Amino acid sequence: MAERSFAKEVGALRLGAGQTFEGEAILAVTKALLQSGVGYVGGYQGAPVSHLMDVLADASGILDELGVTFESSASEATAAAMLATSINYPIRGAVTWKSTVGTNVASDALSNLASAGVTGGALIVLGEDYGEGASIMQERTHAFAMKSQIWLLDPRPDTSTIVRMVEQGFELSEASQSPVMMMMRIRACHMHGQFIAKDNRRPPFTARHPPSSSCSHEERRRAARLRSPSSD
């Protein structure tokens, strides 16, 4: 799939608390990740979430300012393996790929995440190519999520709801010490809408500068609390 430039649109990712964000849902997901204090993001391109990778690439300057690491992964399995950072460190991470074909490729890494648990929040944004306009056989992610005991969020196609699900997905992941999947169907990915923005949150630790491996459990919990909106 040809890349699309979001060079102009990514400026909206700098909006602060109280300002109105207007744009495509893929941009809204990126803004929600930054508002959630994500420390690293990655993924593998595939419809209908290919544009999320394009947005992240075009927003490299904003990501660098916040200390967020971005990596375009060689496969879905490589992207899932990135989330291992959140197993040992209180760093929020998010990856994206096309499901369900891509989820099958990532299954080994995902099974390890589901069994080992996570310290920092781990969110997987899935492009659910299902239903009208789908390009593959009619498969869904539900069965895999049940098999691996991974939370699966299925937000209705509303920009404010999708943003809220990203933020609460990280909270759910940390509270349950489990990775969380969030489905984005074809029309939801490309719809336009608006929501009231929040300030972007610089992560207390990043994948570039993780906390020491000798960091105590209480220090990890304290770092997690620093990330929580309730501490603002």
Confidence of residue 49 (pLDDT cuts 50, 70, 90): confident
Please name the fold of domain 24-206+214-226.
Rossmann fold (3.40.50)
Evaluate if residue 43 carries a pLDDT over 70. yes
pLDDT at 143: 84
pTM of structure: 0.85
23 forms bridges with which residues in the sheet?
193
Where are the domains positioned within the chain?
24-206+214-226
Evaluate if residue 231 carries a pLDDT over 50. no
Span of 11-20, 39-48, 209-218 with lowest mean pLDDT: 209-218
When comparing pLDDT for 163 and 226, which is higher? 163
pLDDT at 215: 53
Question: Two tokens at 71?
Answer: 């990596």
196 forms bridges with which residues in the sheet?
20
Quote the radius of gyration of the chain (alpha carbons, Å). 16
Mapping DSSP to helix (H, G, I), strand (E, B) and coil, where does residue 6 land? coil
CB of 32 closer than 8 Å to CB of 56: no
CB of 152 closer than 8 Å to CB of 95: no
